[in-house]
Amino acid sequence: MELDLGLSTASGSRNTDFLCRQNRYKTAGLNLITKEAGSNKRRKSLRLTPLGVRIKNELLNELNGLHNHSDNGIRETKEDH
């Protein structure tokens, strides 16, 4: 993920901590993901929590709704050609 976003490993860790239930300073996070140990101890698998799944689905529904209604925008007329 860090490479895709152009982040250092430390920055990626801090940013994903904010999306977890609690960060390393024991303050509340957004509870959107969990971090799970992978086969490599230095790498973590990120998984959406039920709240994260719900928000993802809501966002996708909104985006699909915008896409489906995009034909309602400005239409070309014969004079435009």
Per-residue pLDDT tens digits for 41-60:
778 889 999 999 999 999 99
pLDDT digits 0-9 by tens, 66-78: 777 655 554 555 5
d(Cα 20, Cα 28) in Å, to the nearest integer? Answer: 8
Tens digit of each residue's pLDDT (9 = 90 or more) over 7-34: 888 888 888 999 999 988 889 999 999 9
Query: 6-42 burial by CB neighbour count: b if 16+ within 10 A, else e?
Result: eeeeeebeeebbebbeebeeeeebeebbbeeeeeeee
Looking at residue 80, what is its pLDDT?
47
pLDDT at 40: 81
Closest-CA residue to 47 (of 37, 39, 62): 37
The position carrying tokens 């509340």 is 28
